[in-house]
Amino acid sequence: MRGWLHGDAEAPVYEALRPDIWKQSHPEVVRAYRVQEHRDRADRQRFYRAQRRIEALPHSR
Residues 1-59 pLDDT 10s? 555 566 665 656 788 888 888 889 888 888 888 889 999 999 999 999 999 999 999 87
What was the pLDDT predicted at 59? 77
Neighbours of 53 (CB within 10 A): 9
Residues in CB range of 22: below 8 A, 6 or more apart? 16
What was the pLDDT predicted at 9? 59
Neighbours of 40 (CB within 10 A): 10
Cα 11 from chain centroid?
Answer: 27
What was the pLDDT predicted at 11? 57
